[in-house]
Structure 1
Amino acid sequence: MKEKLGVLVCVSLLILFGSNCMGRFVVEKNNLKVTSPASLRDIYECAIGNFGVPQYGGTMVGSVFYPKSNQNACNKFEDVDIPWKNKPGGIPVFLLADRGDCYFTLKAWNAQNGGAAAILVADDRMEPLITMDTPEETDAQADYLQNITIPSALISKDLGDRIKKELSKGEMVKINLDWREALPHPDDRVEYEFWTNSNDECGPKCESQLNFVRDFKGAAQILEHKGYTQFTPHYITWYCPEAFILSQQCRSQCINNGRYCAPDPEQDFSKGYDGKDVVVQNLRQACFFNVANQTGKPWQWWDYVTDFSIRCPMRQNKYNKECADQVIQSLGYDVKKIDECIGDIEADVDNPVLKAEQEAQIGKGPRGDVTILPTLVVNNRQYRGKLDKGAVLKAICAGFEETTEPAICLSRDMETNECLHNNGGCWQDKDANITACRDTFRGRVCQCPIVQGVQFIGDGYTHCEASGALRCGINNGGCWKESRDGRTYSACPNYDRRGCKCPPGFRGDGVKSCEDIDECKEKLACLCPECKCKNTWGSYECSCKGQLLYIHEHDTCFGKDANTQVGWGIVWVVILGLAVAGVAGYAVYKYRIRRYMDSEIRAIMAQYMPLDNQGDVPNQVSV
Structure 2
Amino acid sequence: MELRVSALRPFLGFLVLLLTPLSNARFVVEKNSLRVTSPDRIKGTYDSAIGNFGIPQYGGSMAGAVVYPNSNQKGCKEFSDFGISFQSKPGALPTFVLVDRGDCFFALKVWNAQKAGASAVLVADNVEEALITMDSPEEDGSSAKYIENITIPSALIDKSFGETLKRSISSGDMVNVNLDWRESVPHPDDRVEYELWTNSNDECGVKCDMLMEFVKDFKGAAQILEKGGYTQFTPHYITWYCPQAFTLSKQCKSQCINHGRYCAPDPEQDFSSGYNGKDVVLENLRQLCVFKVANETKKPWAWWDYVTDFQIRCPMKEKKYNRECANAVIQSLGLDLKKIDKCMGDPNTDSDNLVLKEEQDAQVGKGSRGDVTILPTLVVNNRQYRGKLAKGAVLKAICSGFEETTEPAVCLSGDVETNECLDNNGGCWQDKGGNITACKDTFRGRVCECPLVDGVRFKGDGYTTCEASGPGRCKINNGGCWHDAQNGHAFSACTDDGEVKCKCPPGFKGDGVNSCTDIDECKEKKACQCPECSCKNTWGSYDCSCSGDLLYIRDHDTCISKTASETRSSWVAVWVILIGLAMAGGGAYLVYKYRLRSYMDSEIRAIMAQYMPLDSQAEVPNHVNDERA
TM class, shorter-length: 0.7 to 0.9
1:131 CA displacement: 0.6
Q: Residues of 2 paired with 1:497 and 1:202: CA distance?
A: 72
Q: Does 2:229 align with 1:261? A: no
Aligned 8 A contact 2:482 2:516 in 1? no
Q: Residues of 1 paired with 2:216 and 2:370: CA distance?
A: 28
- Alignment match, 1:115: 117
1:12 CA displacement: 7.7
Q: Residues of 2 paired with 1:500 and 1:262: CA distance?
A: 77
Counterpart code for 2:35? K
Q: Residues of 2 paired with 1:9 and 1:269: CA distance?
A: 14
- Alignment match, 2:152: 150
Q: 1:275 aligns with which of 259, 265, 277?
A: 277
1:507 CA displacement: 6.3
Q: 2:12 aligns with which of 13, 16, 24?
A: 16
Residues 144 and 8 of structure 1, relative CA distance in 2, 3 Å threshold: closer
Counterpart code for 1:279? V
- Alignment match, 1:135: 137
Q: Residues of 2 paired with 1:465 and 1:82: CA distance?
A: 56
Aligned 8 A contact 2:193 2:380 in 1? yes
Counterpart code for 2:375? L
Q: Secondary structure at the match of 1:128?
A: coil
Superposition pairs for residues 581-620 of structure 1, below 5 Å? none
1:16 CA displacement: 1.8
Superposition pairs for residues 164-203 of structure 1, below 5 Å? 164-203=166-205
1:179 CA displacement: 1.3
Q: Secondary structure at the match of 1:393?
A: helix
Q: Residues of 1 paired with 2:81 and 2:421: CA distance?
A: 33
Q: Secondary structure at the match of 1:141?
A: helix
1:437 CA displacement: 3.2
Worse-matched range after superposition: 215-224 or 348-357: 215-224
Q: Residues of 2 paired with 1:143 and 1:460: CA distance?
A: 49
Superposition pairs for residues 342-421 of structure 1, below 5 Å? 342-421=344-423
- Alignment match, 1:26: 28
Residues 95 and 471 of structure 1, relative CA distance in 2, 3 Å threshold: farther
Q: Residues of 2 paired with 1:379 and 1:17: CA distance?
A: 31
Q: Residues of 2 paired with 1:34 and 1:337: CA distance?
A: 57
Q: Cα deviation per residue 1:315-367 (whole Å; 9 max; x = unaligned)?
A: 11111111000000101123222222212212222111111100010111111
Aligned 8 A contact 1:366 1:381 in 2? yes
Q: Residues of 2 paired with 1:499 and 1:102: CA distance?
A: 74
Q: Secondary structure at the match of 1:195?
A: strand
Q: Residues of 2 paired with 1:215 and 1:109: CA distance?
A: 24
Q: Residues of 2 paired with 1:110 and 1:460: CA distance?
A: 46
- Alignment match, 2:549: none
1:233 CA displacement: 0.7
- Alignment match, 1:608: none
Q: 2:91 aligns with which of 89, 92, 96?
A: 89
Q: Cα deviation per residue 1:374-409 (whole Å; 9 max; x = unaligned)?
A: 111111111111122222222222222222222322
Aligned 8 A contact 2:405 2:441 in 1? no
- Alignment match, 1:67: 69
Q: 2:244 aligns with which of 242, 245, 260?
A: 242
TM-score (norm 2): 0.74
Q: Which runs of no fewer than 5 residues in structure 2 stay unpaired?
A: 527-629
- Alignment match, 2:54: 52
Q: Residues of 1 paired with 2:237 and 2:167: CA distance?
A: 47
Two-structure CA RMSD over aligned residues (Å): 3.4
Aligned 8 A contact 2:125 2:159 in 1? yes
Aligned 8 A contact 1:239 1:259 in 2? yes
Aligned 8 A contact 2:79 2:85 in 1? no
Aligned 8 A contact 2:5 2:265 in 1? no
Worse-matched range after superposition: 412-421 or 388-397: 412-421
Q: 1:99 aligns with which of 98, 101, 112?
A: 101
Q: Which runs of no fewer than 5 residues in structure 1 stay unpaired?
A: 517-534, 544-623
Aligned 8 A contact 2:38 2:176 in 1? yes
Q: Residues of 1 paired with 2:78 and 2:122: CA distance?
A: 17
Q: Residues of 2 paired with 1:328 and 1:363: CA distance?
A: 32
- Alignment match, 2:464: 462
Q: Cα deviation per residue 1:121-168 (whole Å; 9 max; x = unaligned)?
A: 111110000011111254652122222111111111111111111111
1:113 CA displacement: 1.8
Q: Does 2:293 align with 1:291? A: yes
Q: Cα deviation per residue 1:166-198 (whole Å; 9 max; x = unaligned)?
A: 111221111111111111122222221111000
- Alignment match, 1:319: 321
Residues 478 and 385 of structure 1, relative CA distance in 2, 3 Å threshold: farther
Superposition pairs for residues 523-534 of structure 1, below 5 Å? none
Q: Cα deviation per residue 1:561-615 (whole Å; 9 max; x = unaligned)?
A: xxxxxxxxxxxxxxxxxxxxxxxxxxxxxxxxxxxxxxxxxxxxxxxxxxxxxxx
- Alignment match, 1:125: 127
1:309 CA displacement: 0.5
Q: Residues of 2 paired with 1:117 and 1:437: CA distance?
A: 29
Q: Secondary structure at the match of 1:428?
A: coil
Worse-matched range after superposition: 38-47 or 395-404: 395-404
Q: Residues of 2 paired with 1:191 and 1:122: CA distance?
A: 34
Counterpart code for 1:99? R
Q: Secondary structure at the match of 1:78?
A: helix
Worse-matched range after superposition: 250-259 or 365-374: 250-259
Counterpart code for 1:154? L
Q: Residues of 1 paired with 2:11 and 2:364: CA distance?
A: 21
Q: Residues of 1 paired with 2:368 and 2:69: CA distance?
A: 37
Counterpart code for 2:30? E
Q: Residues of 2 paired with 1:85 and 1:154: CA distance?
A: 22
Q: Secondary structure at the match of 2:144?
A: coil
Q: Residues of 1 paired with 2:359 and 2:300: CA distance?
A: 17
Q: Residues of 1 paired with 2:118 and 2:440: CA distance?
A: 28
Worse-matched range after superposition: 190-199 or 428-437: 428-437
Residues 259 and 10 of structure 1, relative CA distance in 2, 3 Å threshold: farther
- Alignment match, 1:77: 79
Residues 36 and 505 of structure 1, relative CA distance in 2, 3 Å threshold: farther
1:301 CA displacement: 0.6
Q: Secondary structure at the match of 1:207?
A: helix
Aligned 8 A contact 2:7 2:269 in 1? no
Q: Residues of 2 paired with 1:71 and 1:373: CA distance?
A: 32
Aligned 8 A contact 1:8 1:24 in 2? no
Q: Residues of 2 paired with 1:497 and 1:66: CA distance?
A: 65
Worse-matched range after superposition: 305-314 or 141-150: 141-150
Q: Does 2:298 align with 1:302? A: no
1:428 CA displacement: 3.2
Aligned 8 A contact 2:54 2:152 in 1? yes
Q: Residues of 2 paired with 1:10 and 1:294: CA distance?
A: 39
Q: Residues of 2 paired with 1:417 and 1:428: CA distance?
A: 16
- Alignment match, 2:162: 160
Aligned 8 A contact 2:139 2:206 in 1? no
Counterpart code for 1:218? G
Residues 483 and 318 of structure 1, relative CA distance in 2, 3 Å threshold: closer
1:95 CA displacement: 1.4
Worse-matched range after superposition: 454-463 or 100-109: 454-463
Q: Residues of 1 paired with 2:36 and 2:4: CA distance?
A: 32
Worse-matched range after superposition: 474-483 or 366-375: 474-483
1:471 CA displacement: 4.3
Residues 202 and 507 of structure 1, relative CA distance in 2, 3 Å threshold: same
Residues 307 and 494 of structure 1, relative CA distance in 2, 3 Å threshold: same
Superposition pairs for residues 547-562 of structure 1, below 5 Å? none
Q: Residues of 1 paired with 2:76 and 2:465: CA distance?
A: 52
